[in-house]
Amino acid sequence: MSLRANIEHLAAAQGIVAVSVVSAAGPREFRGDDAWSSILDAALSLLDKTDEKTIRLVVGKHTIVLQLENDETVGVVLPTGHAIAKSLRRMIRRMSRKPRGPLVRPAAPAPQLAGPPAAPTAPAAHESGTFRAPWG
């Protein structure tokens, strides 16, 4: 049941276009670009027709990853070749086990005030260019 609880975390991950979670516990949850909603529905029905726990589909410039974890099924849309693809299956597996807290957006960092530039220092003896090695 944790994927349903963690759908906001999945949707907020960099590179994720859309996420859908289906389980017997309630209605389908969807986050992201609404244009992918019907495509994810069709992809989830395709997963139901196979005996696989995970499948990957390429649709144009996007990849759909469908994964079955316990009694929940998740569908994720991301750009083909995006860096998150390497860790997506592991992220889904971990989020299916443990509910995360509410998603907190990081506050914008306070701008650092730059002080006056430091005065130049004299070069060290070995940086002066006058050192000669005794061997040559």
CATH number, residue 7: 3.30.450.30
pLDDT at 126: 55
- Total number of domains in the chain: 1
Range of the domain at 33: 2-97
Does some domain include residue 112?
A: no
Residue 31: pLDDT band (50, 70, 90) is: very high
Does some domain include residue 105?
A: no
Using the CB atoms, write b or e for 48-78: b if 16+ within 10 Å. Answer: eeeeeebebbeeeebbbbbbbbeebbbbbbb
Does some domain include residue 54?
A: yes
pLDDT at 64: 95
Mean pLDDT for 64-83 is 91
Q: Exposed/middle/buried for 2, CB within 10 Å: 0-12, 13-18, 19+?
A: middle
Are 53 and 62 contacting, i.e. CB atoms less than 8 angstroms apart? no
pLDDT at 36: 94
What pTM was estimated for this model as a whole? 0.68
More confident residue, 29 or 114: 29
Q: How many Å apart are CA 42 and CA 36, to the nearest integer?
A: 10
- Left, alpha or beta for 15 (phi > 0: left; psi -120 to 50: alpha)? left
pLDDT at 66: 94
Residue 35 clears pLDDT 80, i.e. is over it: yes
Does some domain include residue 111?
A: no
Residue 76 clears pLDDT 80, i.e. is over it: yes
pLDDT at 56: 94
